[in-house]
Chain A
């Protein structure tokens, strides 16, 4: 694949001051985003933060009330038909036809995208195989699990091999195994040269997949950077240690202080120690020191900063109450139609 110099300089997404208002609710309140081509960009935020509305505007489903956005240099409002040729949109709620089979869905989308009848058939067979849906190809979607539906939805977005793919909460509501599969798929997509913009409520998902992350709250970007930068701004991960019954907790605290140079917090039951972990490398030193001091561990784990903590730090408050739960999209889009 040859990327011309102009293509490599044009960002996949450039949004400036995007605003969308539904009634008195400013769902998106001046969002700026720049996504470089060939990267994975994560938009992280709680329900109702404006993630879906932002994606809908970038994906030409909603018209921005103010601000502008370009996809590979093409304006989403004035050149919407061109933009649609460059994007694949996978919504929070699988946008496939419930009453049709997986194959029928893909064939129809492929035909709409201009593939011939045989090409459309071949493409859907390939995609179904790729997404592990071959066995269920002719079954009506009503019998599909959430994960299968989500995979089919993503498959449908890939028919035209768009250079930019929007994934709106691709793993929300999926079990851990299916989530892992989805992550693998996303990684392989990027390996082919696609740019991916995904929204998520989970910090670890953004951490696992995204090169850069924007944290969004109440329609505004409150932080932007790489996962590392973001986590550094939020605070470090912590080490959770539980000592074997009867161990000397004070001694352990002293060892931690000596080796890592930090103060471990002893839990009220005096059995657990929480240790701020700035440098994961030095944990080995700590474990060796523990053994030398005759300290034995019952349990050992690392706790990453949670989305809760990110929010607490960035916005000065916790994750907002779940007052606008999973129906975010439906409500927003409905609001737009009225």
Chain B
């Protein structure tokens, strides 16, 4: 027996009763790597971050372009940031559904029986999903460029805007991770999340100018955090300006993480 060498008796092992920070980081990266390998094995998982941005951008641009901005070219500077925010934020739901699916599987029992940082499966999933946001962001901008969108802010500003959206999506994914941990099934996570996200993303300034809305709806669209994020991206990409909305978005993201990270981690520790 070559692979199974003589084992070291317990008394001669160096044992520790808690996971160090280094171990936690290592485990998180390994878990994130596992997420990436899973994506490579089942590339159809990426449909929502690849095909969806392409279809949505084309569809909305040609459908609403003429009605809202006179023509498609004039609509793009308003639309691309809007669609970017919607697509990436929607993608963050997957964090929750996949976490639920994972926790229901036998492999999760193994993770729980290994001497690894308890939080690693959760933190790894959250980390791996930032790649999904990056893909969605890149594709949306590229489709925009091909259609003739020329962000006046320049490449640096566009990259910054992309990073802002990714950071905010990551923050929001904590909410869905929380649903993922507490919900019974993956489909219920999907259901709850869509119920929240659909009105939130559409009842904003992402697709239409707020001043065309009835007063009560305009009021909601103006306080909607999604609107602030969309405005921040427009300011950055179209004007190269870092405005108040960017800080508001980052503050909002920080608040979400501050609330949902402890909640999720607590619920997760209780179950895992």
Which of A20-28, A88-96, A280-288 lies at the interface? Answer: A88-96
Residue from A7, A95, A162 in contact with B106 in the complex, judged by beta carbons closer than 8 Å = A95
B33 near A158: Cβ-Cβ < 8 Å: no
Q: Verify if A144 is at the interface (C-beta below 8 Å from B).
A: no
Residue from B2, B33, B114 in contact with A130 in the complex, judged by beta carbons closer than 8 Å = B2
A161 near B7: Cβ-Cβ < 8 Å: yes
A89 near B109: Cβ-Cβ < 8 Å: yes
How far apart sit A228 and B232, CA to CA, in the bound complex (Å)? 78
Interface centre among A81, A87, A140, A337 (most CB of B within 10 A): A81
Q: Report A-chain residues with C-beta under 8 Å of the C-beta of B34.
A: 97, 100, 108
A192 near B33: Cβ-Cβ < 8 Å: no
A61 near B13: Cβ-Cβ < 8 Å: no
Within 8 A of A (CB), among B1-34: 1-13, 15-19, 23, 26-27, 30-31, 33-34
Q: Verify if A99 is at the interface (C-beta below 8 Å from B).
A: yes
Residue from A60, A99, A109, A161 in contact with B42 in the complex, judged by beta carbons closer than 8 Å = A99
CB nearest neighbor in B for A108:
B34
CB nearest neighbor in A for B30:
A111
B106 near A94: Cβ-Cβ < 8 Å: yes
A163 near B5: Cβ-Cβ < 8 Å: no
B110 near A60: Cβ-Cβ < 8 Å: no
Residue from A82, A96, A123, A192 in contact with B7 in the complex, judged by beta carbons closer than 8 Å = A192
How far apart sit A129 and B109, CA to CA, in the bound complex (Å)? 25
How far apart sit A333 and B110, CA to CA, in the bound complex (Å)? 13
Q: Report B-chain residues with C-beta under 8 Å of the C-beta of A85.
A: 13, 15-16, 115
Q: Verify if A262 is at the interface (C-beta below 8 Å from B).
A: no
Q: Report B-chain residues with C-beta under 8 Å of the C-beta of A4.
A: 9, 11-12
A112 near B4: Cβ-Cβ < 8 Å: no
Q: Report A-chain residues with C-beta under 8 Å of the C-beta of B31.
A: 112
A99 near B113: Cβ-Cβ < 8 Å: no
B11 near A98: Cβ-Cβ < 8 Å: no
How far apart sit A194 and B42, CA to CA, in the bound complex (Å)? 38
On chain B, which size bracket covers the interface?
A: 35 or more
Residue from B7, B23, B112, B271 in contact with A114 in the complex, judged by beta carbons closer than 8 Å = B23
Q: Verify if A318 is at the interface (C-beta below 8 Å from B).
A: no
How far apart sit A156 and B4, CA to CA, in the bound complex (Å)? 12
- Closest chain-A Cβ to B24's Cβ sits at a distance in Å of 11
Interface centre among B5, B19, B30 (most CB of A within 10 A): B30
Within 8 A of B (CB), among A128-158: 129-130, 140, 156, 158
How far apart sit A187 and B93, CA to CA, in the bound complex (Å)? 47
Residues of B within 8 A of A (CB): 1-13, 15-19, 23, 26-27, 30-31, 33-34, 37-38, 41-42, 105-116, 120, 271
- 25 A-B pairs with CB atoms under 8 Å apart are A1-B9, A4-B11, A61-B113, A73-B10, A81-B16, A81-B19, A82-B115, A84-B114, A85-B13, A85-B115, A86-B15, A91-B110, A97-B34, A98-B105, A100-B34, A109-B114, A112-B30, A112-B31, A112-B120, A129-B2, A140-B41, A189-B4, A192-B7, A193-B7, A333-B109
Given contacts A82-B16, A129-B3, 20 further A-B contacts (CB under 8 A): A4-B9, A4-B12, A60-B112, A60-B113, A85-B16, A85-B115, A86-B10, A91-B106, A93-B106, A95-B109, A96-B110, A104-B37, A108-B37, A109-B110, A111-B26, A126-B2, A140-B41, A161-B4, A163-B8, A163-B9
What 3 pairs across the A-B complex have the smallest Cβ distances? Answer: A126-B3, A95-B110, A7-B11
